[in-house]
Every structure is written in C-alpha cells, then in structure tokens.
C-alpha cells in the first residue's frame, strides 16, 4: 500500500506517451532571482513546481520582492522587480534543501547594505559553503559559518571586483561570483576548470546585462562589469532536462518504449545526457528547435532499444552530475555495464550519492564497486524488487523508481516524498506513462 513517504513501484513492460515537464529547476532559480533585482515586472510561465524553487521565491519575498502566482494550469509567477533595492530580511532566509538557493542568493545578498542569515534543512546544513565564502570574502563580504557549512551570516556591503579561478567545477559557485560581480565595483572575472551549465550567463543577457565569455582550456572565462541594471522579462521556462532524464532512462530500459517530450531544455551545457543515451543505443530525434531568451528548446521523440554500457569520466562527469544517479540505476541492465569516474562531487550533493547508489543497487541484488570518485557497475545483471532508502534525496528516490520498472517483483521507495524537491508530480506521471 502506498503512503506519502513510501511508494510501491511495480515492474513494467515499457513506457509510452507524451510528457510535459515542469520548468527547469536551474533556470527557474535564476529567473526568480534576476527578476527580483530587475527593474519592472517579469512574467515567468512554467516556473518549476519543485520545493527548491519555492524556497528561492520565499527568500526573494523575505528580501522585499513582491510576486504572485497567476491562476491557471501553467504555473505562472508574476514578479515585481525591486530595481536592486532589496530590504533587510527580518528573519533568517530559509533555503530549505536547496544548495542553488543558498549559493547563488549569497552572491546577491553579499552586495546589499545589510546582514542576512541563510539557513537550510539538515541535508543543506551538511553541504560545503567554503567554495562561495572564499570568493565572496575576497570581494569584501563578511561571512560567518559553521566551519564552512550553513548557517551563513552574511554582512554585505560594497564589494570589489575580483579575478577568480575556481578550484572546483561548479555552476553554483560561478553564478554566485557573477551575481556578486553585478553589485561590485569594477569588472569581475571568473574562470572555471571545466565547462558547467551556463544558465546564469544566458539569463543575465536575457535580463539586459552585458557580459563577455570565451573558452579557456576545457572550461570558460566570464567577465561581468558591476553596476549594470537589469530589466524584467516575460518568459516560458523550458521543461527540465534533469527531470526528463528519469523518463529517458525508463524508456531506455525497454526496446518497445516510445516517448514524446515537447518544449524541453536543450542547452548544450546540459544536453550531454542525450549524446550518452544515443551512444548507449536509445533512438532520440529532436524537432521544433528554437531559441528562447538565449536557451535552446526542442521537442524530443524517443524509442527504446538494446542498451550498451558506457564510461562517464572527466568533463562528462561534471556535465552529467545530476543525471549520474539515474544512469547508475539503469547501469546493471546495460550489456557491458558502466564505469563512473571523476565524480567525487556526488558525495556532497543532497546526499552522498555514491553511498546511496551503491547501497540501493546492492539492496536490489546488484553487484557494484564503490570507489572514492565513482562507481563500477557490471552489466547484464538482473535485479529484484527491494526496500529502497531515498536518503532524503529526490534524485535517488526517482532513480530507483526507474530501476524498479525492470526488477523482478515490487519495490518500495522509502522517502519517496523527497521527489517533490524538484518534481512533485513525478510518481504520478511515471505511473501514467508505464504499461504493464
Ligand atoms: C546547479 C549546479 C549543480 C547541480 C545542481 C544545480 C545549478 O551543482 O548539481 O543541481 O543550477 O547551477 P554544482 O554547482 O554544485 O555542481
């Protein structure tokens, strides 16, 4: 029997249908923040339905930004920009489970003439923040933390531009420094060691800011001048590619599957999953490609086929960081298996995803080798239904719901409610697409 925190997933024959995805989580966060500091109002259609993006909106409200939900099916938010005049929050800014909210918003509040306290839930309180405390302190903010972890007390003020070479490839850190750079005196330069998602750069331009970008080795460098004003935009946020990953991988498990996903984000810094799944044997075609406010969007048609194994390492590990959980969950069903390397960042996500993946795969009877920076999962395995522990992590809960479709017997996902962090309707939609 199902209850809100435990959901049973039964084996399937294939997945078929059309799925409209809620707006991309990464873009929703950025649009909520930028529209909040812009001049004029913004209308954000298909805003993410996840709890993380609601945390960002709640923090913006606490900073004095007025916004409202527009009645209707398309989850539209209207934001009245503060034109950069945020107000001191009267209570701690609660980022919930959302690392993106805490890290990116820190960049904005660091540039304000007041003090903000940023707090998060138990999982967020364990996550590393030194990576943003370092550059923001260099820019002139005064930040107190619990040994580099939340809560953060950020005494903002006038910032100075810096030249920052990021030691870890993280789009959140890059975004944090760029957003602080918007409030700093001078030109801030950020260099990333590997190319990470570029939604902040794309969104800043959509909101009217000028920035310079160029390739730098395997990564990129971005420069932004402080003191620029943003203006609001009306936008429809494209479907979330990292949420689509669960259905793509579900389709990949069954040769008879057929899926259509319209209006999906196709940004090249996010779409590596499509190349990898095609290399693994999935048939994917893209139609109706268009560019909306600088983001590529398209309609995807997918047909399942026999699945080859693969290796994910180097730049791919960074590009696929949010999709590795579901790729690992389908790995035992591939012909040659999967090796995942250079993915140590998985250990500091909403859970230690290397531990959570290895433990749950074993729980389903799979053979798996856990390594410091990844996993090795042999192919050609058959799995049985089991009790899965989501570790309170949305992507672990959803990844194992996908693996459960190919297992023998039923699987119970404990902590299934964590899917609501990014995709509240996930289990409902999965059920609708599944044929037994
Ligand atoms: C995100 C960047 C990634 C990703 C996260 C969202 C973003 O985190 O895992 O889910 O929107 O910029 P890191 O920057 O820590 O790699």
Cβ of residue 241 lying under 6 Å from some atom of ligand 1: no
Distance 171 CA to ligand 1 centre (A): 6
Cβ of residue 171 lying under 6 Å from some atom of ligand 1: yes
Cβ of residue 197 lying under 6 Å from some atom of ligand 1: yes
Top mutation candidate among 55, 170, 179, 349 for ligand 1, by most atoms within 8 Å of CB: 170
**163-193 per-position pLDDT tens digit:** 999 999 999 999 999 999 999 999 999 999 9
**21-36 per-position pLDDT tens digit:** 999 999 999 999 999 9
Backbone angles phi, psi at 224, to 5 degrees: -135, 135
Average the pLDDT over 102-110 and give the result.
98
Task: Please tell me the distance from the alpha carbon of residue 252 to that of residue 90, in angstroms, as a whole number.
Answer: 49
**pLDDT recorded at residue 362:** 98
Task: Please tell me the distance from the alpha carbon of residue 275 to that of residue 306, in angstroms, as a whole number.
Answer: 16
Structural domains of the chain, ranges and CATH numbers in brackets: 6-23+238-435 (3.65.10.10), 25-235 (3.65.10.10)
The continuous run of DSSP H or E covering 43 comes out as strand 41-45
Q: How confident is the model at residue 330 (pLDDT cuts 50, 70, 90)?
A: very high
Task: Kindly give, in sequence order, each residue whose CB lies less than 8 Å from that of residue 200, ignoring residues fewer than 6 positions away.
Answer: 30, 104, 171, 174, 175, 178, 179
**pLDDT recorded at residue 195:** 95
Distance 409 CA to ligand 1 centre (A): 34
Half-sphere exposure of 368 (CA within 13 A, CB side): 27
What is the four-CA torsion angle of 167, 170, 172, 174, rounded to 10 degrees?
Answer: 50
Backbone angles phi, psi at 323, to 5 degrees: -100, -10
Q: Which atom of ligand 1 is nearest to the CA of 349?
A: 9
Cβ of residue 422 lying under 6 Å from some atom of ligand 1: no
pLDDT higher than 80, residue 128: yes
| Catalytic residue annotation | 322
**pLDDT recorded at residue 2:** 42
Backbone angles phi, psi at 19, to 5 degrees: -130, 125
pLDDT higher than 60, residue 432: yes
Evaluate whether 129 touches 149 at the Cβ level (below 8 Å). yes
**pLDDT recorded at residue 86:** 98
pLDDT higher than 80, residue 1: no
**pLDDT recorded at residue 270:** 97
Distance 258 CA to ligand 1 centre (A): 29
**186-227 per-position pLDDT tens digit:** 999 999 999 999 999 999 999 999 999 999 999 999 999 999
Top mutation candidate among 194, 197, 396 for ligand 1, by most atoms within 8 Å of CB: 197
pTM, 2 dp: 0.98
Cβ of residue 395 lying under 6 Å from some atom of ligand 1: no
Task: Please tell me the distance from the alpha carbon of residue 198 to that of residue 75, in angstroms, as a whole number.
Answer: 24
Q: How confident is the model at residue 3 (pLDDT cuts 50, 70, 90)?
A: very low
Instruction: Give me the helices (H) in 40-116, please.
Output: 51-62, 99-109
Cβ of residue 52 lying under 6 Å from some atom of ligand 1: no
**381-415 per-position pLDDT tens digit:** 999 999 999 999 999 999 999 999 999 999 999 99
**pLDDT recorded at residue 4:** 59
Q: How confident is the model at residue 66 (pLDDT cuts 50, 70, 90)?
A: very high
Alpha-carbon separation of residue 367 from 95, 312, 334, 354, 378 (angstroms): 37, 18, 13, 14, 7
Cβ of residue 170 lying under 6 Å from some atom of ligand 1: yes
Evaluate whether 95 touches 120 at the Cβ level (below 8 Å). yes
Q: How confident is the model at residue 296 (pLDDT cuts 50, 70, 90)?
A: very high
Per the prediction, the chain carries an average pLDDT of 97
Top mutation candidate among 101, 201, 237, 321 for ligand 1, by most atoms within 8 Å of CB: 321
């Amino acid at each position: 029997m199902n209850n809100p925190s435990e959901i049973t997933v039964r084996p399937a024959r294939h997945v078929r249908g059309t799925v409209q995805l809620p707006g991309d989580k990464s873009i929703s966060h950025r649009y909520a923040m930028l529209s909040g500091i812009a001049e004029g109002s913004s209308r954000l259609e298909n805003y993410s339905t996840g709890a993380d993006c609601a945390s960002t909106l709640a923090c913006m409200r606490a900073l004095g930004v007025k916004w409202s939900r527009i009645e209707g099916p398309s989850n539209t938010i209207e934001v009245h920009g503060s034109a950069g005049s945020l107000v001191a929050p009267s209570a701690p800014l609660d980022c919930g489970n959302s690392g993106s909210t805490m890290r990116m918003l820190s960049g904005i509040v660091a540039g304000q003439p007041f003090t903000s306290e940023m707090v998060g839930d138990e999982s967020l309180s364990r996550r590393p923040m030194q990576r943003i405390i370092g550059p923001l302190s260099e820019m002139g903010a005064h930040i107190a933390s619990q040994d580099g972890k939340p809560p953060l007390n950020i005494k903002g003020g006038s910032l100075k531009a810096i030249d920052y070479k990021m030691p870890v490839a993280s789009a959140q850190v890059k975004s944090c420094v760029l957003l602080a750079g918007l409030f700093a005196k001078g030109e801030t330069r950020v260099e990333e060691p590997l190319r990470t998602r570029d939604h902040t750069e794309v969104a800043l331009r959509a909101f009217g800011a000028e920035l310079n970008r160029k390739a730098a080795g395997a990564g990129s460098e971005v420069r932004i001048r402080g003191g620029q004003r943003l203006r609001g935009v009306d936008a429809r946020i494209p479907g979330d590619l990292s949420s689509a990953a669960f259905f793509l991988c579900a389709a990949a498990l069954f040769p008879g599957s057929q899926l259509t996903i319209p209006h999906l984000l196709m940004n090249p810094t996010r779409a590596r999953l499509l190349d990898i799944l095609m290399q693994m044997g999935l048939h994917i075609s893209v139609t109706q490609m268009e560019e909306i406010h600088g983001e590529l969007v398209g309609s995807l048609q997918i047909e399942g086929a026999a699945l080859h194994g693969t290796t994910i390492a180097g730049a791919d590990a960074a590009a696929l960081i949010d999709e590795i959980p579901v790729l690992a969950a389908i790995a035992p069903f591939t012909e040659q298996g999967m090796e995942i390397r250079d993915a140590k960042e998985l250990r500091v996500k909403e859970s230690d995803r290397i531990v959570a993946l290895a433990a749950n795969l074993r729980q389903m009877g799979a053979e798996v080798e856990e390594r410091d920076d990844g996993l090795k999962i042999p192919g050609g395995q058959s799995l049985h239904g089991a009790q899965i522990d989501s570790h309170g992590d949305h992507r672990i809960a959803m990844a194992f719901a996908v693996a459960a479709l190919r297992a023998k017997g039923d699987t119970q996902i404990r902590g299934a409610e964590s899917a609501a962090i990014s995709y509240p309707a996930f289990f409902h939609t999965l059920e609708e697409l599944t044929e037994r």
